[in-house]
């Protein structure tokens, strides 16, 4: 390998390095599927949308526990306090997230 090629790999090649995603899409989908199933059960069995329309909900998808907040961050803080290090599903009650 010539010196110029070594230079290219060391200095230019670095900029060409492929980005590596750390997001596990399958895991995200599994959290969302479990979270949505729990959400649907809460709507059916506890009248979630009639009682709490517009609030933000965070669901621990492994235990079914949930918290509600007036804002996204309030719900998030409550969830971190109540079930830290858990797999969590976020939604707004009765309102889909659009983008």
Partner 1 sequence: MLSQLMEGWIDEHGHPVMPVQLIGLEDPIVALIDTGFNRELIVYEEHSQQAQLVIESESVSVLLADGSQEEFLRTEGVIEWFGEPRRVDILVIPGQAPRKGRWQIGTQLLRDCRLEIDFRERSVKLSRHV
The residue ranges that bind partner 1 (CB under 8 A) are 19, 21-23, 25, 27-29, 31-32, 35-36, 72-73, 76, 85-92, 95-99
Which CB atom, from 5 or from 64, has the smaller least distance to partner 1?
64
What is the separation of C-alpha 22 from the centre of its chain, rounded to a whole number of angstroms? 14
Which CB atom, from 1 or from 99, has the smaller least distance to partner 1?
99
User: What's the closest the beta carbon of residue 4 comes to partner 1, in angstroms?
Assistant: 28
β-bridge partners, 87: none
Which CB atom, from 4 or from 85, has the smaller least distance to partner 1?
85
User: What's the closest the beta carbon of residue 28 comes to partner 1, in angstroms?
Assistant: 4
Cα(20)–Cα(41) distance, rounded to whole angstroms?
37
User: What's the closest the beta carbon of residue 54 comes to partner 1, in angstroms?
Assistant: 11
Nearest-5° Cα angle at 99, 67 to 50: 40
What is each CA distance from 65 to 23, 82, 87, in whole angstroms? Answer: 25, 9, 11
């Amino acid at each position: 390998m010539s010196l110029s090629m070594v230079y290219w790999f060391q200095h230019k090649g670095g900029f060409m390095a492929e980005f590596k995603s750390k997001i596990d899409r399958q895991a995200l989908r599994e959290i969302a599927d479990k979270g949505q199933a729990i959400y649907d059960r809460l709507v059916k069995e506890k009248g979630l949308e009639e009682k709490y329309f517009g609030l933000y909900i965070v669901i621990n998808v492994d235990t079914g526990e949930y918290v509600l907040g007036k804002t996204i961050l309030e719900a998030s803080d409550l969830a971190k306090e109540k079930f830290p290090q858990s797999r969590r599903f976020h939604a707004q009650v009765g309102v889909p997230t659009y983008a």
